[in-house]
Amino acid sequence: MHITIGTDHAGYKHKDYLVQLMGTLGHTVSDVGGCQGQSTDYPLIAIKAAQHVAAGKADLGILLCGTGIGVSIAANKVKGIRAALCWNRETALLARKHNNANMICMGARLLDEKACGEMIKAFLSEPFSKQERHHRRVNQISNIEERNCAGDDHKQ
C-alpha cells in the first residue's frame, strides 16, 4: 500500500518510528512533514496530507498532532476525506469497517508510538464492510459533501 503521513511538532518522534514500521511491513510512505525542532501549524500539514490522499496519490493516510483533534478537523475539510480520530485498536478497526475512513488521526501526547503502530496495523488491514447499511451511511456523508462543496474542488 502507499501511505501518506504527516504530523505537527507534537508527533515527529512517533512519525519516525511509524515510517520505519510501515517500511518493515512493506508499505511505501510519503512523508509530508513536519520535522524535528520545527514548530508546525497542524492545519497546513493536515491539508497537505489530505490532498495527497484525496488526489489518489496514496491509498490511506496517517496524521498526528498533540491530541489528533486538530489534524482531524482540518483534514475533513478536504473533499473526499474521511479522517477518523482514533484512540485504540477497536476504533481504528471500526473507522475502516463502518466509516470507510481513509485517514487515521491520533494524539501523540496521549498515545505512545507503539500503541499508534498497533492501531495503524489494524487500520491498514481492515476492509470496508460489505453491509449495505454502512455503504448507505457513507454515501449520505458524500451527498452532504457534494451539496456543500459544489464547485469547490480541493483535489490537486
DSSP state of 10: G
Query: Whose Cβ is closer to ligand RB5: residue 69's or residue 141's?
Result: 69
Least CB distance from residue 43 to ligand RB5, whole Å? 9
Residue 2 annotated among the catalytic residues of the structure: no
* Binding-site ranges for ligand RB5 (CB under 6 A): 8, 10, 42, 65-67, 69-70
Catalytic residue among 98, 134, 149, 154: 98
Catalytic residue among 27, 52, 65, 86: 65
Query: Whose Cβ is closer to ligand RB5: residue 12's or residue 123's?
Result: 12
Least CB distance from residue 30 to ligand RB5, whole Å? 21
Query: Whose Cβ is closer to ligand RB5: residue 70's or residue 117's?
Result: 70
Least CB distance from residue 7 to ligand RB5, whole Å? 9
Cα 38 from chain centre: 21
Residue 65 annotated among the catalytic residues of the structure: yes
Distance CA 42, CA 14 (A): 15
Query: Whose Cβ is closer to ligand RB5: residue 40's or residue 100's?
Result: 40
Q: How many CB atoms lie within 10 A of CB 114?
A: 11
Q: How far is CA 108 from CA 19, 81, 82, 138, in A?
A: 14, 21, 20, 28
Q: Which residues pair with 147 in a beta bridge?
A: none
Q: How far is CA 72 from CA 44, 131, 144, 155, in A?
A: 12, 26, 18, 18
The letter for the amino acid at 113 is E
Least CB distance from residue 16 to ligand RB5, whole Å? 17
Distance CA 148, CA 76 (A): 13
Give catalytic residues, as residue numbers: 65, 98
